[in-house]
Amino acid sequence: MFSRRRFLLAAAPLAVAAATESWSAGQEPPRRRFVPPLTVPERVTNATVPIVDFHTHLQRRVTAEYLIERMDAVGVTRMVLSPLHYGDSPDGRHINDGEGSDEQAVDYARRYPDRFIPFVGMQRGEMDNSWFWVGNYDTASLLKDAEAKLATGEYFGMGEFMLRFYPYKTSQGIVAPSDMDYPPFSYAMRKFSDLSAKYRAPMVIHAEAEPKVAEGMQQLFAAHPQAIFVWAHNCGRSSAQSIAEMMDRHSNLFADLSMMVYSGGPNPEGYGVYWPRRTEWMHLVVDDEGRVQQDMLDLFNRYATRFMIGTDVAHARVYEFYSRRLPRWRRFFAQVSEEAMHDIAYRNAERLFRPT
């Protein structure tokens, strides 16, 4: 006889299927909220090009006005808000500065429609569990919730999905303790990919490009050609050659360069260096002085329409240093071609906000 636990685990995928049955009905999704077009001066330089911060996060105690002050100080026109649902641990050992919400992101976008783009946040405690990815009741509940939110037309994407993630502790004492290793080509990711395709909603994925991870990601891209995938941190810090091959093969693959131009200093932290651990498959975008590696420069100029930038501020207290994250981006724009500068700084993000 089945135990109650075995029965629930066996029944969970059926519950997910039942909850998602209507998603393949072929109905047109509702129109998205209108986003005012960006105003771009006739003459633009790397110092004045408007910027869309495509990859950053929202925390409970960060106000919209606080964010706008920091954006205005450094010429950031728009910001994607991906809520960080994680909170501090009850014993106070793990400080996350999170507890944002999807409703908070929409509230900011309603009040400042030209500045904020809300995503359905996918950094949640219930997803740090192997059963979630094979399909359980948490999976069904979150899929139903995400569908309902995307159907309103007020949410523009989903993310960040944490698949292969290395734990860290920052110099500020912020701790991300989970060593996550979940399969990209999983039941849950395939269901979320169906939502991406239906609502033309980009899904931002964090997956360090270890060989088995990269293989699973490409299986996912191939199986869901109508979905929109944004592989964070330059496709999980893949090599320029690997990224070019994947982009040639998968027209639905985009990449954000979040944190990839930050380097230098005595104890650098961030994905632009070999942090929080060094592996043989990590490939950096810039050197210690912020110079773009030649193979990466060729990649960005050739595939300019496939990349976005991001500051990836994951924790509330880090917004205090937001202005420090932009000078390296301005230097990056001075090194790529003029067309690539416009595409990567704002055009590509704007296209994804207005899918056809």
Query: Alpha-carbon distance 126 to 115, whole Å?
Result: 30
Those residues whose C-beta lies under 8 Å from the C-beta of residue 60, and which sit 6 or more positions away, are 98, 99, 100, 101, 104, 316
Note the pLDDT tens digit of each residue in 122-179: 999 999 999 999 999 999 999 999 999 999 999 999 999 999 999 999 888 888 889 9
What per-residue confidence (pLDDT) applies to 16? 45
Note the pLDDT tens digit of each residue in 309-337: 999 999 888 999 999 999 999 999 999 99
Query: Alpha-carbon distance 326 to 340, whole Å?
Result: 17
**Highest mean pLDDT (candidates 38-42, 172-176, 252-256, 265-269):** 252-256
**Band of residue 354 on the pLDDT scale cut at 50, 70, 90:** confident
Query: Alpha-carbon distance 221 to 229, whole Å?
Result: 7
**Band of residue 7 on the pLDDT scale cut at 50, 70, 90:** very low
Task: Report how far Cα 269 is from the mean position of its chain's Cα atoms.
Answer: 19
What per-residue confidence (pLDDT) applies to 356? 64
- pTM for this prediction: 0.91
Query: Residue 289 carries which DSSP code?
Result: T
Mean pLDDT of the chain: 90
Does the pLDDT value for residue 258 go beyond 90? Answer: yes
What per-residue confidence (pLDDT) applies to 288? 93
What per-residue confidence (pLDDT) applies to 31? 80
Burial of 259 (0-12, 13-18, 19+ CB in 10 A): buried
Those residues whose C-beta lies under 8 Å from the C-beta of residue 340, and which sit 6 or more positions away, are 300, 301, 304
Burial of 176 (0-12, 13-18, 19+ CB in 10 A): buried
What per-residue confidence (pLDDT) applies to 320? 93
Does the pLDDT value for residue 50 go beyond 70? Answer: yes
Question: What percent of the chain lies above the pLDDT cut of 90?
Answer: 78
What does the longest C-alpha to C-alpha distance in the chain come to? 74
Domains of the chain (ranges, CATH numbers):
50-353 (3.20.20.140)
Q: What is the H or E stretch that residue 142 is in?
A: helix 137-151
- Three-class DSSP category at 221: helix
Note the pLDDT tens digit of each residue in 67-120: 999 999 999 999 999 999 987 667 666 666 779 999 999 999 999 999 999 999
What per-residue confidence (pLDDT) applies to 11? 46
Helix axes 211-223, 187-199, angle to 10 degrees: 40
Average pLDDT rounded to a whole number, residues 204-233: 98
Record the tokens describing residue 299, joined without a space.
């990649």
31 against 141, higher pLDDT: 141
Task: Report how far Cα 218 is from the mean position of its chain's Cα atoms.
Answer: 17
Q: Name residue 244's amino acid.
A: A
**Band of residue 3 on the pLDDT scale cut at 50, 70, 90:** very low
Does the pLDDT value for residue 19 go beyond 80? Answer: no
Query: Alpha-carbon distance 145 to 320, whole Å?
Result: 32
What per-residue confidence (pLDDT) applies to 17? 46
